[in-house]
């Protein structure tokens, strides 16, 4: 009886361990810096453990991703996906390791990839070195290859302060400059504000919103209080002077690198 009892316990432990292992592998982790991926239940995954380099044969942007058809240095052709970045056919690029998805369906592209690697990001390339120039002929400048765009919330992605910007403050009881919005963020959290500024950057169709950066000349670039991000379904062009009206949120973290100490959400845009 004792022998049968211990055998039953061993079988239970084995089954529990097998179930845990299956659960751990059935839903792969989202690569760092990527928006959430809705993985199809029938997909299978494994890890691409080494960087990939090669020449871009095809590229398209959709749903916050860049889908890239790459001919590797060994001649093999593969599909990769990274957080949306600037890429052109003919570029030579290198990508970090990532998750390999089988039979992945992109709902935004309305197509299924037999195999695609969700890379953890682009590996920035070193600047090209100009060849030695003949006497009395200046050497051509080195041209850097394109590197991956940083996540929206990171300091790298925030536009530098434009010294020539000087935008008049919005009018009304809820009107603030960008510097005032940062300075009073605790008091203004979850409240309606009106802020006027010049559009310095637009990133469309991320999380079903357009992400618009504005500056008004106030604030400190060193402290990161000069640039304000607004999410909206409206559109604007770089160079436009607009008035943004929406809800101020303090210390907003969307996940996947989208982090902001101050952001205006669900904004309406006017002149």
Model pLDDT for residues 110-168, shown as the tens digit of each residue: 889 999 998 989 998 766 555 555 555 444 444 443 333 334 454 445 566 666 899 99
- Segments in the chain below pLDDT 70: 1-49, 126-163, 256-257
Determine the pLDDT at residue 197.
96
Percentages helix, strand, coil for the chain (3-state, rounded to 5) are 15, 40, 45
Q: Which residues of 99-125 are buried (b: 16+ CB within 10 A; e: fewer)?
A: bbbeebebeeeeeebeebbbbbbbeee
3-class DSSP state of 143:
coil
33 phi/psi in degrees, rounded to 5: 85, -5
- Tokens read off for 40: 């199809």
Any residues with CB less than 8 A from the CB of 30 and at least 6 apart, and which?
Answer: 36, 37, 256
Determine the pLDDT at residue 71.
96
d(CA 255, CA 40): 21
Determine the pLDDT at residue 135.
53
Determine the pLDDT at residue 70.
95
Determine the pLDDT at residue 47.
66
Q: Which residues of 72-81 are buried (b: 16+ CB within 10 A; e: fewer)?
A: eeeeeebbbb
Q: Which tens digits make up the pLDDT trace of 180-198?
A: 999 999 999 999 999 999 9
Dmax over Cα atoms in the chain, in whole Å? 97
Tell me the pTM. 0.45
Query: Which strand ranges, in their side-by-side order, compose the sheet holding 92-95?
Result: 45-48, 98-106, 111-119, 77-83, 65-72, 52-62, 92-95, 122-123
């Amino acid at each position: 009886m004792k022998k049968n009892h211990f055998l039953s316990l061993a079988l239970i432990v084995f089954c529990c361990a097998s179930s845990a292992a299956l659960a751990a592998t059935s839903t792969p982790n989202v690569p760092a810096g990527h928006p959430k991926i809705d993985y199809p239940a029938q997909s299978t995954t494994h890890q691409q453990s080494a960087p990939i380099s090669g020449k871009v044969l095809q590229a398209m942007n959709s749903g916050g991703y860049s889908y890239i058809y790459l001919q590797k240095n060994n001649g093999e052709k593969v599909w990769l996906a990274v957080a949306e970045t600037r890429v052109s056919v003919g570029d030579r690029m290198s990508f970090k390791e990532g998750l390999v998805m089988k039979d992945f369906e992109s709902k935004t592209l309305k197509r299924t990839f037999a195999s695609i690697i969700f890379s953890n990001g682009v590996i920035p390339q070193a600047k090209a070195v100009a060849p030695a120039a003949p006497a009395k002929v200046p050497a051509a400048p080195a041209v850097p290859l394109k590197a991956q765009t940083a996540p929206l919330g990171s300091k790298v992605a925030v536009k530098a302060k434009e010294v020539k910007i000087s935008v008049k403050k919005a009018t009304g009881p809820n009107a603030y400059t960008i510097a005032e919005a940062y300075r009073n963020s605790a008091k203004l959290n979850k409240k309606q504000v009106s802020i006027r500024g010049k559009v310095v950057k637009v990133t469309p169709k991320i999380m079903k919103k357009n992400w618009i950066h504005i500056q008004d000349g106030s604030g400190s670039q060193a402290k990161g209080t000069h640039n304000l991000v607004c999410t909206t379904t409206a559109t604007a062009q770089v160079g436009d002077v607009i008035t943004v009206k929406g809800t101020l949120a303090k210390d907003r973290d969307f996940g996947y690198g989208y982090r902001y100490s101050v952001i205006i959400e669900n904004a309406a845009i006017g002149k």
